[in-house]
Structure 1
Amino acid sequence: MELYHLRTFVAVAEEGNLTRASERLFTSQPAVSAHIKALEEALGVALFDRTPKGMRLTSIGEDLLPRARHTLAAAGAFVEHARSLSGEIAGSVRIGLNSDARFLRVAALQTGLAARHPHLDVSMLGGSTGLNLPALRAGRLDASFISGERDDSDLVLHRLCDEHLVVAAPRAKRLRASGLEMSALARLPWIFTSPECAYYKAMQGIFQAHGCEPLRTLMADQEDAVLELVRAGAGLGIVRAGLIDGDNDRACELPVAVPPVPLQFAYLRARAGDAVIGALVAVLREVWGLDGAAAPVPAIRVVAG
């Protein structure tokens, strides 16, 4: 049994599909199938049930999956520690994104990592706060950008900035909506995000303060999708300030005060001493100016358990 067999096992288990697993591993589908077959033969157990809908873990596979993840993490930590002894940071790091790359300063982060740690393999993976936090805890992400206040005892949080929010409305409805009371605005169609999203909580907060609930028309869990739906006239929504392009945009801002939410960078507290995480955070702090006098908020908060 080889470590690459375990990597393939974890990828197939998480993707539930040989094709997606092969794309994730940058290899061929026959190679993925061969790895799984070799691992099952080496262990003497069936790890998956092959179904028309994809690969489903057997009860034995479900039991072995967390052990496989732990083994891979331990092997990676061993290599990283050995290289750190010589001052070299290598390995891989998967970073979850929850907004657009420009706002998150992804290009500057990658440029800094590549310059300082050329042997570090960096993956930037799109998602949302609600999806990235479970992936972080399951070991599918090493760190993630998240929005909103958190008091999770298992996380280390670096507060990067405040996200200023606005109520976006279709421009065609501006005259109708801009002069309405909150109770009347609540009766207009609203585009919700998921309940785990900080923008959803901000929206609920402004209406609860006025004793009313907004009318849900549909749910979209990506900021660009919310804004495009607003532009199409589907309803009103909460978006980050600065995304609406003035009078030329098919969306407009309504004069409604929405409290800001913090943008934060999170990783598991159990990995606070990890060399790769340390290297990542050092570049992140430079990119966001967290060590300079201009830092807008405290740079790091370790939540007590």
Structure 2
Amino acid sequence: MDYRDWEILKVLYSEKNLTKAARLLFITQPALTNRLKQMQEELGVKIVTRESRGIHFTPEGEYLVQCADNILAQYNKIVEHVRNMSQTSGNEVVGTMKLGVSNFFANYELPYILKLFKNQYPHVEFKVITGWSKDVTKLIHNKDVHIGFVRGDYNCRGLKKHLLFEETVSVTSKEAIDIADLPNLPRIDYNGDFLLKSLIDNWWAENYSQPPFISIEVDQVDTCKEMVINGLGYGFLSSRILNEIDDLYKIVLTSQKGNPILRRTWMYYHKESLEWNVVKAFVNFIEGLNDHLNNELRESNR
């Protein structure tokens, strides 16, 4: 078994699903199934069994997964140590970074950030896994990625964190509306992450005694935005997604005390990861971008 096999076992155990594991491993499901079969033949034991709800690890498979964490950690430590040794005499930073990124951040922020970083460190490569913020927090906790970009104040104890920016959330519509009449107006709803849904639901419960009139449900915030732009109803949209859109009516959500309700975006990482030059360089770069990001936010809120 090689490094990749141990990585496959760890991801597969975490997901308990071949399709999801294959996506995270950047391989096809048939390739993953074939490699798993080869591992079982090599070891002469059954590692997993298939069930209607996914896969189940045998006792032998459970033991191999326990070994995987230590083997992968030791391997990564050796690789990064050797790379650090080769860089002590110069300023070149090389290596591969694994990033876990929320869907919104991946679409609206990450490409520009990686472009700027690659201008300074052209020999750094990236593997990017996108998903809901709650799933990204799991990736960073399990050390499946070096750095996570998370939208919302999730519980990430034991991790180093850095605040990237704060956003306001607005009731947004094509035409001016009376916020007191909101329960009677058509609302465009979309599948956001759990914390955002809780934030909006709590605000609604504090201000209205009747449920909203949801006329259209969509699965993406971008679709919701386009529906609002076309006058099909109002939606709850954050300030960054409304950048460069000036002809919409916006009412910023506030608390009972009149303070804006803010949604935060964080960078998370393990402290020991800073021992790796490539991670340290990336963290320092992101922290240095704060002034730029905050200036953009102030512009978007004007």
Whether these two folds match at TM > 0.5 is: yes
Alignment of 1:30-179 (within 5 A): 31-50=31-50, 56-60=55-59, 61-62=61-62, 64-87=64-87, 88-101=93-106, 103-113=108-118, 115-116=120-121, 118=123, 120-150=124-154, 152-169=156-173, 171=174, 174=175, 178-179=177-178
State the AA in 1 paired with 2:56. L
Q: How many residues end up aligned between the 2 structures?
A: 281
Aligned to 1:262: 264
Q: CA RMSD in A?
A: 3.9
State the AA in 2 paired with 1:17. L
Structure 1 residues 271 and 214, CA gap change in structure 2 (3 angstroms): farther
1:245 is aligned to 2:245 = yes
Distance in structure 1 (CA, Å) of the matches to 2:295 and 2:10: 43
Structure 1 residues 150 and 270, CA gap change in structure 2 (3 angstroms): farther
What TM-score, normalized by structure 1, do the two folds share?
0.72
Aligned to 1:236: 234
Q: Any stretches of 5+ residues in structure 1 without a counterpart? A: 297-305
Distance in structure 1 (CA, Å) of the matches to 2:74 and 2:101: 21
Distance in structure 1 (CA, Å) of the matches to 2:170 and 2:29: 46
Offset from partner CA, 1:65-109 (integer Å, 9 cap, x none): 354244223311220122112225424322313415574253233
1:210 is aligned to 2:210 = no
Structure 1 residues 293 and 131, CA gap change in structure 2 (3 angstroms): closer
State the AA in 1 paired with 2:46. A
1:227 is aligned to 2:219 = no
- State the percentage of identical aligned residues: 19
Offset from partner CA, 1:5-27 (integer Å, 9 cap, x none): 22333455547336972x66566
What TM-score, normalized by structure 2, do the two folds share?
0.73
Q: Any stretches of 5+ residues in structure 2 without a counterpart? A: 88-92, 255-260, 298-302
State the AA in 1 paired with 2:225. L
Deviation at 1:274?
4.3
